[in-house]
Chain A
Amino acid sequence: MYIIIIGGGKVGASIASTLIDMGHEVLLIERSESRCQVLRKEFGSVVMHGDGCEASLLADAGTDRAELFIAVTEGDEDNLVACQVAQHRFHVGRVVARVNDPKNERIFRAVGVTPTVSAVDSLANWVLHEVPGRNLSRLAPLRQGALNLLGIKIPPTASSVGKRVTEIVLPESTAIALVVHRDGSPTVPSDEVVLEPDDEVIALGRPEDERALVDAFTI
């Protein structure tokens, strides 16, 4: 598969390295010439110097035959524009954009640049996962953010404690994937599984159902 990456920082270089190992044809476009020199030592001729938003450069790069276009610069406006040029001028079917400021995610979605990946959000979620007393962790977005994989910790005071997991009334279109017990052992939900304090329920739901889903286990 021919894959174009815009932005040769640490993130872009790491993605390029993995994709090349997988056997893909990769082009890594980086704006800074001095950074390009560093990248060429590792990647050789797959590095291209230039502005990945410039349509004439994307034409030279053969963007019209790319199957995947990845924009991971540190400028959200550059990632947003580069992906739209790839989609609408070069008809690239799949784009992935890095969003540096999580609040910009709304505009990326509004103009159809999905999926997006927010390093700040992901990192914040993993750190918050380690904070005691926090009942909810967003583990991963699925289906371009239409669903979230959630970890819900059962507080000792919750009415769900002592109940079979199958007795809990869930909001519609949500599901429990696993129950992870305090000792770390995972079990598939069944009538035999009784919820205990500090168990973690791994559940799936749409973002709008998240509150109700968490409340079902924690109130």
Chain B
Amino acid sequence: MGCGRVGSRLATIMDAEGHRLTVVDVNPAAFSRLSSSYGGETVVGDATDEDVQREAGVVDADVFVAVTQGDNRNIMASQVAKHLFQVDKVVCRIYDPIRQEVFRDLGLRTFSPTTVLTQMIHDTIEG
């Protein structure tokens, strides 16, 4: 969910590795970020919507990844995938570090770019 820089890059890499991919984005123009070699599916829609997830085949998915710019959209879509479609591995980007902790404790695999990047820059300076 989310065909921005991270989403499109991840989809292109994992598609090349032989996985079956579906990318969902509200804006069809976003799919132009996918590599021309991308062979997976694309679905236009808001993946916080249960029906859009159904259309995207989330019910059969092993992994769901939410990487839109909106923390709350990512969280809601991830929870729909986890709780309504029983997806085993749900990965969710959350910029707000505290929100990231809350939803990590609630069972989402969460990433906070804020925390990760801060740590990396810190280590670079200190290293």
Contacts and interface: CB of A to CB of B under 8 A. Distances in A.
A4 B103 CA distance: 21
B83 A110 contact: yes
Interface in B68-127: 70-73, 75-76, 79-80, 83-84, 96, 98-99, 101-103, 105-106
Interface residues of B, number: 22
Interface string A97-127: 0000101101100110000000000000000
A77 B70 contact: yes
A80 interface: yes
A85 interface: yes
A53 B99 contact: yes
Contacts of B98: 55-56, 59, 85, 89
A80 B76 contact: yes
Contact of B102 (A59, A78, A89): A89
A143 interface: no
A55 B75 contact: no
The prevalent SS among residues of A at the interface is: helix
Contacts of B51: 103
Contacts of A75: 72
13 contacts: A53-B71, A53-B96, A55-B96, A55-B102, A59-B98, A81-B72, A84-B103, A85-B99, A88-B105, A103-B50, A106-B84, A107-B50, A111-B83
A200 B32 CA distance: 59
B8 interface: no
The prevalent SS among residues of B at the interface is: helix
Contacts of A80: 72, 75-76, 79
A56 B103 CA distance: 15
B12 interface: no
A107 B72 contact: no
Nearest to B48: A77
Nearest to A82: B72
A88 B104 CA distance: 11
Interface of B: 48-51, 70-73, 75-76, 79-80, 83-84, 96, 98-99, 101-103, 105-106
Of B48, B71, B72, which is in contact with the most chain A CB atoms at under 10 Å from its CB?
B72
Nearest to A54: B96
A76 interface: yes
Contact of A77 (B72, B101, B105, B106): B72
Nearest to B73: A77
Interface in A34-86: 53-56, 59, 75-78, 80-81, 84-85
B106 A88 contact: yes
Nearest to B83: A110
Nearest to A86: B102
Contacts of A81: 71-72, 75-76, 99
A101 B105 CA distance: 27
